[in-house]
Amino acid sequence: MSANPFTIIATVPNMERVEAILGAEGARPDYFRLNLSHCTVQQAVDFLTAYNQRCGDIPIFLDLQGSKIRLLREQPTITVNAGEEVVVCSAPIAGKTCLLVDAQVVRTCIEACGTHPSITALIDDGKVELRLLHPTSDAFVPATVVRGGKVLPRKGFNLSPHPICLTTLTTVDHEFVVKTRVFPCVRYALSFVSDPREIVALRETVGRDAPCSRHARGCFVAAKLERALSVAETRALGAVSDEMWLCRGDMGSQLGLPGLAQFYRAFVHVMPSFGCPVILAGEVLDHMPMAGISTRSEVCHLADAVERGYTGCVLSNETVCPSTDNALAAIRLVRAVTAAAQADRIVGSPFGDWWAEAQRALAEAKKH
Ligand SMILES: Nc1ncnc2c1ncn2[C@@H]1O[C@H](COP(=O)(O)OP(=O)(O)OP(=O)(O)O)[C@@H](O)[C@H]1O
Ligand SMILES: CC(=O)C(=O)O
């Protein structure tokens, strides 16, 4: 069997899922990922202590929130319906259906509503959509639900264009980094980056002497591309990052789905010039968590990802989903499909003649 250079990063919610994955045949990912937005600093440290003992030789990405906006931890789980009136606020208000965000985000929404008549907020990658209305108080922003659904704590809250640009780490991320840099297996992924100074600040916070600073530039950092950026801005991020993740969940909320398609079409051609590996993230096998089977479309897209030169993918819901069986099946399927799609495997497959013909066609196209 040929080597499969396509790497798999599997998101895990807890050590039980790590154990289940490690104990299963043929479902071993190359890296794990823990999203720090869903745990406290102490929970992250406890998890990493156990992880380090069990499988510290497998690097794990710690995903930092950066400038990503999320509903607060205190957000009650509720269902909102299309047409319903709700409010966006930072603390519960009696008699109103509240969507809780940081006070700074409420202020940002109020300012934005003053200058733009129609602002949309997308929650949980667009599963719930709000139209923000003219605010009459500085405590909340009224909104109408355009697309109803379940609202859960800590889900992403997207305003487009994304209103926060950082040049350094937030206080919360700083605390996570200081407490987790002692684990040699740790790598970092930074959400919603827009400025290379954020990456530099992260490496400086980790420091050269930290146990996880085992790479050429110190600690390993993946920049998560999730918002509208120019080619020059993306190149500048690529120049200081060890790899970049194209995060299509949030990017789809930021650009809209037709916008994502337009951006994506051009992005793949510019990608080889970034000078660092690019990983595909967000809804890679979106049908697996619920259905336990992927669509043909998802499988073909994985083959395209190999062809385009993505060096791997991040599995999110696919491996945190309640069904361990479906999580294992997702990892196995990515492995099987991306291995089968490697050029040297196609040569010896029943499609070898197709591959030879494809190479001839590509060479011919290059001449013109
Ligand atoms: N450590 C965890 N504890 C509890 N639930 C988790 C944990 N990690 C992930 N989840 C659940 O799985 C979902 C998918 O995880 P994931 O981290 O990929 O998505 P996310 O919250 O949308 O963030 P991002 O956009 O950064 O990927 C989360 O929204 C959350 O509901
Ligand atoms: C994975 C991720 O962060 C996204 O697709 O938005």
8 Å CB contact between 210 and 103: no
Distance (angstroms) between ligand 2 centre and the Cα of 15 equals 22
Task: Give residues (CB < 6 A) around ligand 2.
Answer: 224, 226, 247-250, 281-282, 314, 316
CB contact burial 10-38 (16+ within 10 A = b; e otherwise): bbbbebebbebbeebeebebebbbbbbbb
Tokens of 236: 């500048």
- Listed residues 126, 159, 192: the one ending a domain: 159
Q: Is residue 1 part of a domain?
A: no
Q: Is residue 367 part of a domain?
A: no
CB contact burial 237-265 (16+ within 10 A = b; e otherwise): bbebbbbbbbbbbbbbbbbeeeebeebee
- Listed residues 123, 143, 159: the one ending a domain: 159
pLDDT for res 115: 81
Q: Which CATH number does the domain housing residue 278 bear?
A: 3.20.20.60
Q: Is residue 2 part of a domain?
A: no
For 206-243, what is each residue's pLDDT tens digit? 999 999 999 999 999 999 999 999 999 999 999 999 99
CA angle 328, 280, 66 (to 5 degrees): 100
| Domain match, 14 and 92 both | no
Q: How far apart are CA 256 and CA 282, in angstroms?
A: 15
Question: From atom 1 of ligand 1, which residue's Cα is the shortest distance away?
Answer: 13
Q: Is residue 201 part of a domain?
A: yes
| Domain match, 267 and 337 both | yes
8 Å CB contact between 177 and 169: yes
8 Å CB contact between 82 and 134: no
| pLDDT higher than threshold 60 for residue 364 | yes
- Main-chain phi, psi angles of 205, to 5 degrees: -65, -40
The residue segments making up the domain with residue 15 are 7-67+165-362
Q: Is residue 72 part of a domain?
A: no
Percent residues over pLDDT 90 in the chain:
95
Partnered with residue 61 across adjacent β-strands are 33, 187
Mutate-to-test residue for ligand 2 from 250, 279, 319, 320, highest number of ligand atoms within 8 A of CB? 250
Mutate-to-test residue for ligand 1 from 247, 316, 319, 323, highest number of ligand atoms within 8 A of CB? 316
Could you tell me the CA-to-CA distances from 27 to 52, 205, 230 in Å, in that order? 19, 34, 37
Domains in the chain: how many in total?
Answer: 2
- Listed residues 132, 159, 186: the one ending a domain: 159
- Measured between its terminal Cα atoms, the distance across the chain in Å is 36
For 5-37, what is each residue's pLDDT tens digit? 999 999 999 999 999 999 999 999 999 999 999
pLDDT for res 1: 45
Q: Which CATH number does the domain housing residue 104 bear?
A: 2.40.33.10
Q: Is residue 368 part of a domain?
A: no
284, 297, 296: which is closest to 330 by C-alpha?
Answer: 284
Q: Is residue 134 part of a domain?
A: yes
ipTM of the complex: 0.97
Ligand nearest to the CA of 319: 1
Q: How far apart are CA 9 and CA 313, in angstroms?
A: 6
| Domain match, 155 and 172 both | no
| Domain match, 178 and 119 both | no
| Domain match, 49 and 95 both | no
Q: Is residue 232 part of a domain?
A: yes
